[in-house]
Amino acid sequence: MGQITEPQTCFICRKHNGEIDSPGGAVYEDEWVFAGHAFIPDGKDTAYLGMLLLEPKRHVANWIDLSDAEGEAMGRAAARIARALKKVCRAEHVYTFVLGHSIDHLHMFIIPRYPDTPREFWGLNVDDWPGAPRGGIEEIEDLCEDLRSALE
């Protein structure tokens, strides 16, 4: 148990409200959920391409707080997004992680593992592989456009 974040100050809620731009725009959005690309980390010029975040629109901390409709929407979106990543990024595997250590608004990481990723980078540190495809905002925008097309 940690920080208590009110929806009006929550980074994820502010992104959903349009106060903060999601890089590349929404990749997937419906009544219940929002998915977009991860931000470029502070102090870096590029992000691991294809690292997506899927979030319920309602400010809840964990799966245990979701309604059935929200849970269904999360699962449906995760499956569709994983298929799009496999196709667009030619992922050999797609990870889904929920950690929830730093912000109390549920967010699922959906991350492609690229072919030839060395075994020591499999799992939570897949984005540490120096050989992974990375890109700045223009590459992120292009990828998000391709993912939206694949999701239609």
Smallest distance from the beta carbon of 106 to Zn ion, in angstroms? 9
By CB under 5 A, residue 16 contacts Zn ion: no
Smallest separation, CB 7 to Zn ion (Å): 5
Residue 66 binds Zn ion (CB under 5 A): no
10 binds Zn ion (CB under 5 A): yes
Residues 6+ apart with CB under 8 A from 144: 23, 24, 25, 27, 36, 37
Q: What are phi and psi of 21, to 5 degrees?
A: -80, 125
- Read off φ and ψ for residue 77, nearest 5 degrees: -65, -40
Eight-class DSSP state of 7: G
Nearer to Zn ion, 37 or 105 (CB): 105
- For the CA atoms of 114, 119, 120, 121, the dihedral, rounded to the nearest 10 degrees, stands at 10
Regarding 33 and contact with Zn ion (CB under 5 A), the answer is: no
Single out the segment in contact with Zn ion by CB under 5 A; choices: 33-41, 70-78, 102-110, 126-134: 102-110
**Which residue number has the CB closest to Zn ion?**
10
Among 15, 105, 113, 134, binds Zn ion (CB under 5 A): 105
Cβ-contact 84, 61 below 8 angstroms: no
The rounded distance, in Å, linking the Cα atoms of 67 and 69 is: 5
Position among 15, 37, 57, 59 found at the interface with Zn ion (CB under 5 A)? 59
Q: Which residues of the shown chain bind Zn ion in the complex (CB under 5 A)?
A: 10, 12-13, 59, 105
